[in-house]
Amino acid sequence: MLAVVIILNVMNIFEKFTELIDIENPKFEEKGKVHDWRNYVPYDWQTNWFQFTERERQIIAVMAETQADKEEWD
């Protein structure tokens, strides 16, 4: 039962982020300087973005967004 709850929570995280982030057309060339998840996606991954499955793109986007949210600027 706990595993099901964890899986559902993870799925909700992906849903939340992918509603806010366009993983189908991320426009890496238009990334901003601050708090932009696209800054945390390696160039090789950007150029091969559509070779990843949808779930892989979601995972990458969530991880990148998590890093972007941790940025601190003076």
Tokens of 39: 């800054």
Task: Supply the pLDDT for residue 1.
Answer: 67
Tokens of 32: 């901003």
Q: State the Cα–Cα distance between residues 48 and 8, nearest whole angstrom.
A: 29
What average pLDDT values come out for the chain (74 residues) when binned by 10 residues? Answer: 60 64 90 92 97 92 89 79
For residue 74, give the H/E element and its range: none
Task: Supply the pLDDT for residue 45.
Answer: 97
Q: State the Cα–Cα distance between residues 58 and 52, nearest whole angstrom.
A: 10
